[in-house]
Structure 1
Amino acid sequence: MARRIKMLTSLAICAALTVVLLPFTAAGGEGAAPFDYKKALHSSLLYFEAQRSGHLPHNQRVKWRGHSGLADGLQQGVDLVGGYYDAGDNVKFGLPMAFTVTMLSWSAMEFADDIAAAGEWRHVLEAIKWGTDYFVKAHTEPYVLWAEVGDGDTDHYCWQRPEDMTTSRQAYKVDRDNPGSDLVGETAAALAAASMVFRRTNPHYAQVLLHHAEQLFEFGDKYRGKYDSSIGEAYSYYASVSGYGDEMLWAALWLHRATGKASYLDYAVDMAEEFGGTTWAITEFSWDVKYAGLQILATKVLLEGKAKAEHKATLEKYKAKAEHYLCACLNKNGDAGNVNRTAGGMLFVRQWNNMQYVTNAAFLLTVYSRYLTSAGAGQEPPVLQCPDGPAHADQLLTLARSQTDYVLGANPAGVSYLVGYGQRFPRRMHHRGASIVSHRGDGRFIGCMQGYDNWFLRKGANPNVVVGAIVGGPDHLDRFRDRRDNYMQTEACTYNTAPMVGIFAHLHTETRSSPRNIEHKKFLQD
């Protein structure tokens, strides 16, 4: 079914999408009431509970899910129970799971006060820890990391709830003889970033995470190779097209931020050219292609004035490439290339799960605007130098908010692509657990093909709503078709929602304090 090879070139459209376009909804626009970003934040965190694998805790809020994958790793003699299902299937893919946790942790670090003010701090910590607990278990030896449980081919042959699955739970690992520096580097980045989140509330756990992160970084650097060359089962679903250079630089910069050790920044500088950090100018940021994110992390070191003299020239090159990405999003890159936009204003990279590029862009735009503002130190903050003219921090925020509002319903179709939010949202998500009656409601076993015959082919709405999931979204003409078999548009992934946790929290704070919202609240009270 939904094979997810993410190539760097656009995929051809498989079939024309026939939809009825609804009148444009200006919600969140000028003169309209702002979106309820607090509700969006609350919803987004529920999504991660819906994607949990393993033994669910007593405080599980998504009640239609049950325990699943309780024997994961048993046949290999390791405990691999837990972690997240990446999307609408029942496989645990290590690379996108690790990226999800990295982005959740980055959200928590940058927007901690906003998340806490919205009353969601505990839930953010729980979402991160569900992933990091799994990574700690999967890192069974210094040079061994379990990369995947289940395989996409057998999993996609069946349509079953995770509580019923009868498909293979074969587990796959990378080690000295079968390296996977991209997977190992991303997992190191996730654990390093998470260690900073837990440092104040759970210092022992934070130290455990950092210990594993440093071991994994050494593993990835010492035994280099692409994980999908070692694990053929991953290639058809999460192929590492960009290679491992970006993940190793990404991990080094996160470890430098987490530890303060100069050796990690030295690594990011020394390997900058060989691994593409200062040579690749990229117009997307995703679970596979980390360059824009790591270039922004490197630029942060420069903007903070913490760089050693011998590092500044290389960090300036990182900054130039970071600005290339941001200027491309702003449509100010001239002949150097911009990110396409739909008529409705959505950034458009490619047809398959385009929302991942939208949400990640919104996050990087917001974060970089904060870095620029902080670098001003009470004076006029520096500006982004684009080929088509300078851009100020507030312009980055404006674009980030427009993309967020598009997700929530300010689009030509008038659809919220955040499931469960608003009056109109996708009702037929490509999601096994959601599309079949809840295991708690009907405990009768549903077989492999029975799920296809009785549930996948149904025309009606899913019996369970995956609140907080962000689906793949519309095409280049802002068209969206809400069908279960339209997995390019109706399948959601954890890494679509993860960056929005911080953005929703930030916009909730901004909206509460804006004069327009204060006037709106007064009007409602009067």
Structure 2
Amino acid sequence: MEEKRQCKCKHFSLPNYIVLILSLFPTLSLSQSTFNYKDALSKSLLYFEAQRSGRLPYNQRVTWRHHSGLTDGLEQGVDLVGGYYDAGDNVKFGLPMAFTITMLSWSVVEFRQQIAAAGELRHALDAIKWGTDYFIKAHTHSHVLWAQVGDGDTDHLCWQRPEDMTTSRRAHKLDEENPGTEVAAETAAAMAAAAIVFRTTNPHYSHLLLEHAQQLFEFGDKYRGKYDESIEGAKGYYTSVSGYMDELLWAALWLYKATDNPKFLNYAIHNANSFGGITWAIKEFSWDVKYAGLQIIASMLPMEGKTNEQKKTLQEYRSKAEHYICACLNKNKNNSTNVQRTPGGLLYTRQWNNMQYVSTAVFLLTVYSDHLHSTNQMLDCYTDTVGPNKILSFVKSQVAYILGSNPMGLSYLVGYGPAYPERVHHRGASMESYRDSKVFVGCTQGYDNWYGRKDPNPNVLVGALIGGPDHKDEFVDRRGNFVQTEACTYNTAPLVGTFAKLHSLENGTSSSSAYATPSLVSFI
């Protein structure tokens, strides 16, 4: 994520009357068509290889990247080589990295067969393991977690390929004196979710992940504190606005799913009220605010064998989960509790990197649609009773917008379709590949020679979901417009499961009935 800069940009937009016509008559959309979800899935998983830090493997497919960050942790005497860069910069932020792995893992937990049928399971597992291998390294003691490598402030003064980095690679740790519950709990959730993923294919690794997950949960719960008060360098980039109680509930539920140990369920039950799990009605889900996700998980837990207290609390979780679903569908009683829409029909939460909220929403809706279908249930919103197919139809409308059926006629998944943003705010993609030219690029040299160029990036950041258009469906394809053109790992991660599900529907490998791409305006 980049600091705010003033930029005077020429808006790359369509006249308002055309936007209005396209939003009212979506069949006229510039790129309305049948979408290749398998291709979108493949590209979304390829993106994570472009974000890799460390020593790249022999089967690395993104060939414009090379080894980087090979001395990470050396100053502190710990091996922190590996992991992911979060976005277009070269810092390894622990909180968004862990959330990315949780969401990738959840995609495989829910849609493993569909991902495998598309021929992408190995790539999905590789993407997850690249993250969890790093977390194992970073968790050097039961009560020590290295939660960040690099410094956002100095990193943002330089425009360098990761292979050329000269900025600080100082590592920051969390321990008993410097707690960071959000990162400890989110990393526990990521490792617990990944433990489920690897349970059958790599049971030893799965067991190892569970050990780390349980230790991290205990650490985060026992030594409570906001991580950005221990690591001040995280403030301004990944400030924890929601606090850590949502992460504790989230981690407890993932550990319950991974272990079936009732103590983790009881934790989520007993703390449901005091931690906000059944009191916060939410209309967004992100690396910071986990309530909607944990409410969805809780609402899908089977009621058989549960005590009356557990059943009652799980039902309250479900009520809040369905508030989120209804908010996305624009069917809550109070319109202010619904998610806003752009004129073209895209879910709109806020200006900065809005697509992250769209991708998490479509994933939660896809998962809940499957749950309703498999349990033969309906969703009761204030204005309507909604079936699983209608939820899935809305998901398809949002994915259609992402992939090009929108007023700009652009795919916001880079590399997909005939037209997509070409000036993504990303250091490595915006400069000549290190593999092609090992000539060192200095700190300010990158800004002078590459950042301000009007030419398209020399390397295509395939599979990256960028920040996307504004509340008027307008978009400026300019490198300096990082609010719209920067991509993040946690933008793309939730799409993996959704693309797999939609591909399976198109190919008749799912039991749910498929819908044709719907009109966006029908949901406005």
| TM value normalised by structure 1 | 0.93
Task: Please tell me whether the aligned partners of residues 71 and 81 of structure 1 are also in contact (alpha carbons under 8 angstroms).
Answer: yes
Give 1:16 shift: 7.7
Deviation by residue 1:253-279 (Cα, 9 ceiling, x = unmatched): 000000000000000011111111011
Give 1:20 shift: 2.9
| Cα distance between partner residues in 1 of 2:275 and 2:81 | 34
Task: Please tell me whether the aligned partners of residues 393 and 515 of structure 2 are also in contact (alpha carbons under 8 angstroms).
Answer: no
Helix, strand or coil at the partner of 2:312: helix
Tell me which amino acid in the other structure corresponds to 2:112: A
Q: Which residue does 1:61 correspond to in 2?
A: 61
Task: Please tell me whether the aligned partners of residues 466 and 486 of structure 2 are also in contact (alpha carbons under 8 angstroms).
Answer: yes
Structure 2 residue 498 is matched with structure 1 residue 499: no
Structure 2 residue 17 is matched with structure 1 residue 18: no
Tell me which amino acid in the other structure corresponds to 2:324: Y
Helix, strand or coil at the partner of 1:334: coil
Give 1:305 shift: 3.5
Structure 2 residue 380 is matched with structure 1 residue 392: no
Q: Which residue does 1:344 correspond to in 2?
A: 344
Taking the TM superposition and a 5 Å limit, the aligned residue runs for 1:45-444 are: 45-302=45-302, 305-335=304-334, 337-375=337-375, 381-444=376-439
| Cα distance between partner residues in 2 of 1:369 and 1:43 | 24
Task: Please tell me whether the aligned partners of residues 383 and 393 of structure 1 are also in contact (alpha carbons under 8 angstroms).
Answer: yes
**Aligned positions, number:** 505
| Cα distance between partner residues in 1 of 2:42 and 2:306 | 38
Give 1:399 shift: 1.1
Instruction: Name the CA shift for 1:190/1:516 in 2 (closer, same or farther; >3 Å).
Output: closer
| Cα distance between partner residues in 1 of 2:110 and 2:305 | 19
Deviation by residue 1:256-308 (Cα, 9 ceiling, x = unmatched): 00000000000001111111101111100000000000001110115x54533
| Cα distance between partner residues in 2 of 1:258 and 1:300 | 15
Give 1:446 shift: 0.5
Task: Please tell me whether the aligned partners of residues 342 and 348 of structure 2 are also in contact (alpha carbons under 8 angstroms).
Answer: yes
| Cα distance between partner residues in 2 of 1:401 and 1:407 | 10
| Cα distance between partner residues in 2 of 1:274 and 1:135 | 30
Helix, strand or coil at the partner of 2:147: strand
Deviation by residue 1:197-242 (Cα, 9 ceiling, x = unmatched): 0011100000000000000000011000110011100011000100
Tell me which amino acid in the other structure corresponds to 1:176: E
Structure 1 consecutive aligned stretches of length 4 or more whose deviation exceeds 4 Å: 12-17, 22-29, 514-518
Deviation by residue 1:329-356 (Cα, 9 ceiling, x = unmatched): 0000021610000111100000100000
| Cα distance between partner residues in 2 of 1:100 and 1:139 | 17
Q: Structure 2: which 5+ runs fail to align?
A: 517-524
Helix, strand or coil at the partner of 2:478: coil
| Cα distance between partner residues in 2 of 1:307 and 1:234 | 40
| Cα distance between partner residues in 2 of 1:165 and 1:129 | 25
Tell me which amino acid in the other structure corresponds to 1:268: A
Task: Please tell me whether the aligned partners of residues 32 and 405 of structure 2 are also in contact (alpha carbons under 8 angstroms).
Answer: no
Q: Which residue does 2:519 correspond to in 1?
A: none
Give 1:310 shift: 2.3
Task: Please tell me whether the aligned partners of residues 93 and 147 of structure 2 are also in contact (alpha carbons under 8 angstroms).
Answer: yes
Deviation by residue 1:377-427 (Cα, 9 ceiling, x = unmatched): xxxx22112111221111111111111111100100000000001111010
Task: Please tell me whether the aligned partners of residues 13 and 351 of structure 1 are also in contact (alpha carbons under 8 angstroms).
Answer: no
Q: Which residue does 2:40 correspond to in 1?
A: 40
Task: Please tell me whether the aligned partners of residues 419 and 425 of structure 1 are also in contact (alpha carbons under 8 angstroms).
Answer: yes
Task: Please tell me whether the aligned partners of residues 9 and 476 of structure 2 are also in contact (alpha carbons under 8 angstroms).
Answer: no
Q: Structure 1: which 5+ runs fail to align?
A: 5-11, 376-380, 519-526
Structure 2 residue 443 is matched with structure 1 residue 448: yes
Tell me which amino acid in the other structure corresponds to 1:21: L
Tell me which amino acid in the other structure corresponds to 1:229: E
| TM value normalised by structure 2 | 0.93
